[in-house]
Structure 1
């Protein structure tokens, strides 16, 4: 029988991003308003594949991005490794997410490439706030889709997702 994978808030994961480098991410919350998905924060610093930094050092790093995903799937797919757990998950009121009501829509058979129909929210915020055109700090909001683990790794490698979603500019 296959072993059941369990993850919990505070878990830290190592993600290999090249033959010689890795980054880390941490499960910081469960967003009940976004399909009960895990919310992770990925850290900016790259480490040598052989480095073994302390958890306290990892979570003090600058946040690269926040995302919704299913951390268990990443483990099952051997895309990341659970390395430990630490209570320090940062301020979970900080992440701001965005979504577009234009995603997947077309005008005259053309996919909408730039949306002016955005909404933003924070973790477990039941009031997704319509904002129309993204302005100010809302432009810094992370995409709020539940992202598959392969896309999380791509973003950790390249700094961006490799799938299409409307832009705001």
Structure 2
């Protein structure tokens, strides 16, 4: 291979639990998240914990300050795609991922079909939920129990632009059927709020 062509090959992105990333928002503020674990139950995607504080663009917190911040939300992501797209960049690493906190995090999503006698059949999605904890088998439930309404995290793998939107506004801006049940929590400074 010619030397000129070697420069065009994109560098491999190495992602490891504990890595801390920063997303910047138009010179207004920046927000951080940490890769906690890989969830084998959800497409082997990366589970991240996104921290709540919006830092000024010129502020440089220590890794310790970042990971000791309050967690705004957990979600599934493909971190390497966000790195390649310039949505965020790695700033450091911390071995403390507080993965024990995942014991209290319930992920879930609803489906509008189920297999009946090996044939897909359309059903009311709000009465066909899959819920699970990271790296544990999912459980099929009909209606989502009310005790989960305020705490469940949508378990689908989110695109980097959706994650950035939730970092900025406090909620995913798209309108999905699950939001008939799950309450969204906008940040105090958010000037928009989408209802389904």
Q: Return the offset for 1:86.
A: 0.4
Superposed counterparts of 1:1-169, under 5 Å:
1-90=9-98, 91=100, 92-102=102-112, 115-130=126-141, 132-166=143-177, 167-169=179-181
Which one has the bigger helix percentage? 2
1:78-101 CA-to-partner distances (Å, cap 9, x unmatched) read 010100110111123232111112
Q: Relative to structure 2, which stretch is displaced further, 129-138 or 16-25? A: 129-138
Q: What is the rounded CA distance, in whole Å, between the counterparts of 1:147 and 1:135 in structure 2?
A: 24
Is the 1:119–1:132 contact (alpha carbons within 8 Å) kept by the matching residues of 2? no
Higher relative contact order (CA 8 A, sep 6+): 1
Is the 2:33–2:49 contact (alpha carbons within 8 Å) kept by the matching residues of 1? yes
Q: Which structure 1 residue ranges, 4+ long, deviate > 3 Å from structure 2?
A: none
Query: Which runs of 5 or more residues in structure 1 are unaligned?
Result: none
Q: Relative to structure 2, which stretch is displaced further, 27-36 or 137-146? A: 137-146
1:22-45 CA-to-partner distances (Å, cap 9, x unmatched) read 110010010001000000010001
Q: Who wins on radius of gyration, i.e. which is larger?
A: 2
Secondary structure at 2:31 match in 1: strand
Q: What is the rounded CA distance, in whole Å, between the counterparts of 1:96 and 1:137 in structure 2?
A: 8
TM-score, normalisation: structure 1 = 0.87
When the two chains are superposed, the root-mean-square deviation of aligned CA atoms in Å is: 2.1
1:33-85 CA-to-partner distances (Å, cap 9, x unmatched) read 10000000100011011111111111111111111010000000001010011
Q: What is the rounded CA distance, in whole Å, between the counterparts of 2:160 and 2:146 in structure 1?
A: 29
Q: What is the rounded CA distance, in whole Å, between the counterparts of 1:118 and 1:139 in structure 2?
A: 15
Query: Which runs of 5 or more residues in structure 2 are unaligned?
Result: 1-8, 114-120, 182-196
